[in-house]
Chain A
Amino acid sequence: MKNNYSRLKWVALIILGGIFFFLSKAAHAATTNILFFLQQEVTGIVSDENGVPVPGVTVTVKNTRRGAVTKLDGQYEITAPANGALVFSYIGFKTFEVAIDGRSEINIQLEEDIASLGEVQINAGYYNTTARKRTGNIARVSGEEIEMQPIVSPLEALQGRMAGVEIQQRSGVPGSAPIIRIRGQNSLRNSRDDNGNLPLYIIDGVPVNSSPLGGSSLNGTTGIDPLNTLNLSNIESIEVLKDADATAIYGSRGANGVILISTKSGKSFEQKTQVEARLYSGVGEVSNKMELLNTEQYLQIRNQAFENDGLEPNQNNAYDLLVWDNYLYTDWQEELYGGTAEITDLNLSVSGGNATTSFRIGGSYHEEGTVFPGDFKYSKVTGGLNLNHRSKNEKLQLNLSLNYGVDNNNLFGSDSFISDALTLPPNAPRLYNDDGSLNWEDLTWDNPLANLQNSSNDQVNNLVTSLGISYEILEGLTFKTNAGYTNLYRNQKGITKKESFRPDIRDSREHSSSERTNIRKSWIIEPQLTYSAKIGAGNLEALVGMTFQESENDNLRISGDGYVSESLIGNLEAAESVEVTEYINIMYKYTALFARLGYNWKEKYFVNLTGRRDGSSRFAPNKRFANFAALGTAWIFSEESVVKENIPFLSFGKLRGSYGTTGSDQIPDYGFLDAYEATPGPGGLYPTQLTNPNFSWEENKKLEAALELGFLKDRINLGVSWYRNRSSNQLVGFPLPSTTGFPSIQANLPATVQNTGWEVEFSSLNISTKDFRWQTSFNFTLPETKLVEFPNISQTSYENVYRVGYPLNIALLYNYEGIDPETGLYQVQDINGDGNFSYEDRTVIEELGRQYYGGISNNLSYKNFSLQFLWQFVKQTGYDEYFSAPGFISNQPENVFQGIADGELQQASQNFTAAIPYSFARNSVHFISDASFLRLKTLGFSYKIPEELLQNWKIEGFRLFLNAQNLLTFTEYNGLNPEYPGGGSLPSLRTVTGGLQINF
């Protein structure tokens, strides 16, 4: 493939040549741009409505690129033509324009822009827009809202804050990857190893591989979020692109939405060097525990079981009754995850700049203990650099961003730790003997703490860099190139000691170790041309660009066995045998041409046309390239004079709609390749699949309509959107008879998944006085997913997972018939009467997952105090927590005691014949319940020490703050973790932290 690289070189040369060609032309053109008028110095002070000086206000000479920024005392100084005009703009204030008229001093009072709908720049990926002008659906969360949260994954911070964005943090173990779905599940492939539902993540213009890193130990089921290594405090904003208008420019990668993460840069040019230091620390504990039986209740049920079964307890089947201490009580939840996690976070950033260069350097350290016994913790260190440079004439702009993070998951190897805490009988033996050694109680139990000896050390190093160059060739015409490089290196080492096994089987075991390495490297180059001009009464914005991207993904897993001594475990050289259990090397190449054409007429009518033609190496050679496009339109009807005159309280009204196609290239790499792989046994090669040369992407057609309203000078804003996304061309295993050698072949089927829903976003400024300000915002999502079509589903592996005409998240259940009065055991219906219970009898379809969800947040400030809190609510149903049938050697929820007494539950029995009907009933509505919850997700309180007190200390700002996460949860759910019903996972932690922030 040498040829490719030489071609690439050729391409790069042409691009460079092009740049130089235009640079020379443009430089020539620039000199002709002479100022005709007399220049003079203008100075003044900019203040707010209360007369307080406002620093950082951008002052520009109208129709030029010349500008200045007000200093701390609100002072500015600028050279301008005497007959010109000055424009003052600053986020949060209305832009103000004033004619100079020969004056040399102009003092300005800026008026606060209450909702600032038109001012906040929204990152739409390749271009920027504003809430007012946008034609697509883009949700935005600013860094301020998330930077204080004592959490690890940035995505977790978005919970409850955005409509249409469902984030499920399945585990409270630090570092666990949350599951994120933007407007529902589009792809039928939803397993961790083959998932077609991941959004596209872009950090500072650079796409990063967002699939969770295969987990180990307690992170095993969720995996580790590769975004953990980002510094939360370093995030300027997170934008989520949802509809066709916003995502079609990402073509075959936009089907599941796009998450844009922008990191902070130096605030502005011409600023003095500023230092911000923040420290917080606090504690966390599990946000929920279950009420379980106490020893007395437990033993009563056990004894009753033997009575019911007519059996005499013996030492084999009733060691808990006969061998263990009947008066012992241990709260196993307290023992195993009742600890307190200590959290410490340090953050330091320095920013500054002169007229042409600004910078920001940031570093952070975050440490989080665990709620488990033993000395385990999560820690991360991050460093970031952001550099902006512009030439004096502002034609040339350079920006560099560099984000590096290292995190370390120091845990232990056990996947049953949480379920142990729920199921160990309350009179199970003491953990330790008097001499401090682990107690095995004559081998009658597996001491859960034995696992703590098996350490798992998981380190992720992640570098994300991007470099952007832009040059304004002519007025309105800019050439830009973004280049990026990412490098993620992950190394996980796990050891298993002989001593972690029961003493009686220890001798047949060996010390062993496992090591896992993932490397994800990628580079990207995106040359672009943008053009903007006034045409007629409107503005035209155009963009055309290209993408070249290459990614490499390596996975290696090695296990070592038979170490002679404990100290050697992990030293593969000392292992008796070393085995490579996984070796995967994946290359991915991607190229595209994309374009955008946006036009608005009188800031009233908006049309936005986006498209992309892209090619991906994941598709078969004859299916490599595809076109994607979308049309978005908006009409600000409040600008019409009819509306203005007749509905005066309506300050803003917009109708918008969009339609277009996107795709998902989240399909297995090399799926089309007719190839052999190594057999598990040595020296062999074998074909592992049938080859389909027509492998292609999944297609997603998106339709959206929305209404946005602003009332009372935009003090109240309401947005309602309706969407319908249809994903077809689903890549599924097409069933084949065994005579073909394999049970299926990967193929695109006309199976169609439809996601529809309503999203409501509301915000209001309830009170705004000089001292007191109260803002409320609310978001609500009503989603619905349906499998519209799936030909021959009954012959595929999805037969017992999905049902045509129903949502994707369903449970197929037996028909629960109550308790058999004769046996006292559960009964489910044998629908086909064949005497067996199988999927054929599971005809009851119950919808699981979220019916609706949302969040309400309030921001209150009074003088120097501020308070903000966010409630998250989710309406859903889910499985109850899993327990054995009552009567077996396993603890039970506390209500089981009463339930058995009242005859509402299956009677106690320790017989195998009781476990079978119980397991059938587990798969019936009897064990499914409302798992809705309302949670005080975040609560923040801060106090700014008055500036007067700080002046002597040369400190510009000093803030004290308190922050709490998951402080309160209201739920009827009878299980451990309402966020992941029935999952038996550690609930999110309830944390309280306090700290201070100093600005110099």
Chain B
Amino acid sequence: MLRNIYIRQLFILLVILINTSCEDFVEIETPKHKIVSATVFAEDETAISAMTGIYNELFNADFSGGWRSSVSVLSGLSSDVLEPVNSNSVSNAEFNQNEISPNNDYNFNLWSSTFNIIYMTNALLEGLSNSEGVSEEVSLRLEGEASFIRAFSYFYLVNLYGDVPIILSTDYEQNSLVTRNNREAVYELIIEDLEASIVFLDSHTESEDRTRVNKFVATAMLARVYLFMEDWEKAEILSNQVLAETSKYEILENLDEVFLPNSKEAIWQISPIGGNVLTNTNEGSVYIGTSRSSIKLSDQFVSSFSLEDKRLDQWVGFYSDTNRAFHFPFKYKDRSSTNNITEYSMVLRLAEQFFIRAEARARTGNLSGAIADLDEIRSRSNLETISESNPGIGQEQLLELIQEERKKELFSEWGHRWLDLKRTNRASEILSPFTSWEDTDVLYPIPEEDRMKNPNLTQNDGY
């Protein structure tokens, strides 16, 4: 019948239509607010943006941003420098009392945000290695920068948590079942990454802005790593390389200028531009005293300053109202602002390099060299120089003095005091009088949440 033929024809037509067109029809282009990974690494500009994204996010990441769950705050609390204003915040109090529960949410933020940044560096390194469109020059530079960030992140992971899993890819199936690698392996990775960073960034002409990593940033970091590994010679050589760049870096006489954007004392800073709306540093808003402050300087720490110390005057603030009175870190002056960046968050600065060299020299017997380095910092703070007051100081005493000076100079920055107490094995001695200290408290617990999701993650002793 004619009718049936029509129907059959139409049906065939429809079937053809479906098979040829539908698959293609539902293909969609990438939306304007997203860029496919492959496209990101197809040309220099977008690849550079991916690196800029990491710098921006370092300001937002919990561990590095200077906010409540940052290394600066939490490790400050764990040491003898910072204290909670009141005991309302259990999460803060646990760090202060060295009684961190594996469920502590700040601890989880600290841990997870570090791995988030590591993911970004791995994604960038993978993207670059698969890329053909990015120029050799840019590719090397970005690899250098990303390797540095990864090493920097691992430095804190290994120092805060001990053995940690080494993650070098973005493969979530593999990364969700990782086991912890031992400290030595992690340090190996850190050194490898930093050395690569120094090599890759060698020929790169640094920009004026100190928020991007250059080879001196990597060198300064590596000097610290060798100090922590007690390889005094390498620590001295590397810090020397940074300190020799006198046209670039110098110790600023005025303490109020140290934390300004691109200050000459800064080796590496993080800009609040990453936070978008507010332009103050997170340190500024978390430390500067108000009626709602949750963090303060411990009284014992404040009383360790001698009165003529300019740092007491310029870097320590005092807040009081009817209900409370306390001292607070006042290195950053801008508590809240929009549209006006006046300070950058300091990560690495020259003063630390003087301390590194001083300690390395003192350890290797070059006491006069060590004294000279230490005096650089002391004289800036209006303190008597050792070369004048006590030129015959012994090694032990000098090393102790260096630690004491590190504490007063670097307080509230990146948990220096906590890491110093740990690496010099004095944490138990210094902290046990204040808290229910146990020797296992030198390591933070692996967050319980992650251990539930990955049974291969073991817990640190004591938790």
Contact = CB atoms under 8 A, between A and B. Distances in A.
A678 interface: yes
Most chain B CB inside 10 Å of its own CB: which residue of A10, A617, A687, A740: A740
A738 B123 contact: no
Contacts of B122: 741
Contacts of B35: 675-677, 685
B36 interface: yes
A577 B340 CA distance: 11
B170 interface: yes
Contact of A4 (B25, B31, B38, B112): B25
B115 A589 contact: no
Interface in A896-951: none
Contacts of B172: 690, 736, 740-742, 745
B120 A477 contact: no
Nearest to B50: A685
A177 to B, nearest CB: 25
Which of under 10, 10 to 19, 20 to 34, or 35 or more describes the interface residues of B?
35 or more
B176 A740 contact: yes
A830 to B, nearest CB: 15
Nearest to B117: A741
Contact of B31 (A562, A586, A591, A613): A586
Contact of B11 (A544, A591, A680): A544
Nearest to B457: A737
B22 to A, nearest CB: 5
Interface string B33-63: 1111110100000100110111111011000
A562 B337 CA distance: 12
Given A25-B6, A473-B6, A741-B115, A682 B273 contact: yes
Interface in B171-214: 172, 175-176, 178
A625 interface: yes
Nearest to A11: B21
A432 interface: no
B123 A687 contact: yes
Contacts of A544: 11, 14
A579 B25 contact: no
A674 B34 CA distance: 9
B267 to A, nearest CB: 21
B17 interface: yes
Most chain B CB inside 10 Å of its own CB: which residue of A562, A624, A683: A683
A3 B122 CA distance: 35
Contact of A587 (B31, B40, B338, B457): B31
B111 A738 contact: yes
A736 B29 contact: no
A686 B36 contact: no
Contact of A591 (B6, B26, B34, B54): B26
Interface stretch (B228-236, B280-288, B446-454): B446-454
A681 B120 contact: no
B361 to A, nearest CB: 39
B57 A589 contact: no
A477 B6 contact: yes
A584 interface: yes
**Chain B contact surface mostly:** helix
B26 A590 contact: yes
A676 B53 contact: yes
Contacts of A526: none
B3 A477 contact: yes
A739 B176 contact: yes
Most chain A CB inside 10 Å of its own CB: which residue of B11, B17, B52, B122: B17
A684 B31 contact: no
A586 B176 CA distance: 31
A679 B53 contact: yes
A312 to B, nearest CB: 14
A684 B115 contact: no
A531 B33 contact: no
Given A473-B6, A684-B55, A736-B176, A576 B339 contact: yes
A575 to B, nearest CB: 10
Interface string A792-826: 00110000000000000000000000000000000
B112 A738 contact: yes
Interface string A571-598: 0000011010001111111110100000
B118 interface: yes
Contacts of A583: 32-33
B452 A18 contact: no
B259 to A, nearest CB: 19
Interface string B267-305: 000000111110000000000000000000000000000
Given A529-B10, A741-B116, A741-B170, A685 B25 contact: no
A681 B17 contact: no
A472 interface: no
B103 to A, nearest CB: 9
A14 B251 CA distance: 78
Contacts of B59: 681
B123 A675 contact: no
Interface in A664-705: 669-670, 673-687, 690
Contacts of A678: 33, 53
A546 B17 CA distance: 9
Interface string B6-30: 1100110110011011111111111
A617 B28 contact: yes
Given A583-B33, A685-B35, A624 B52 contact: no
B119 interface: yes
A710 B275 CA distance: 68
Most chain B CB inside 10 Å of its own CB: which residue of A474, A617, A681: A681
B372 interface: no
B436 interface: no
A671 to B, nearest CB: 11
B431 interface: no
B454 A625 contact: no
A471 B115 CA distance: 63
Contacts of B162: none
Contact of B32 (A14, A585, A615, A676): A585
A567 interface: no
Nearest to B454: A737
A25 to B, nearest CB: 7
A225 interface: no
B31 A579 contact: no
B322 interface: yes
B27 A4 contact: yes
B329 to A, nearest CB: 23
B347 interface: no
Contact of A687 (B60, B112, B119): B119
A676 B40 contact: yes
Contact of A7 (B24, B34, B112, B116): B24
A743 interface: yes
A3 B24 contact: yes
A828 B326 CA distance: 36
B179 to A, nearest CB: 10
Contacts of A589: 25-28
A685 B6 contact: no
Contacts of B165: 739
A239 interface: no
B386 interface: no
A738 B116 contact: yes
A736 B32 CA distance: 29
Contact of B18 (A593, A674, A679, A685): A593
A548 B34 contact: no
A681 B10 contact: no
Contacts of A794: 452
A561 B338 contact: yes
B252 interface: no
8 contacts: A4-B25, A8-B25, A14-B13, A546-B14, A615-B26, A738-B447, A741-B175, A795-B449
Given A675-B30, A679-B60, 12 more contacts: A10-B21, A587-B31, A590-B26, A591-B26, A670-B28, A676-B40, A681-B273, A684-B54, A686-B50, A735-B453, A738-B450, A739-B115
| A-B interface, 6 closest residue pairs, ranked by CB to CB distance from nearest | A741-B119, A684-B53, A681-B56, A738-B112, A681-B274, A686-B53
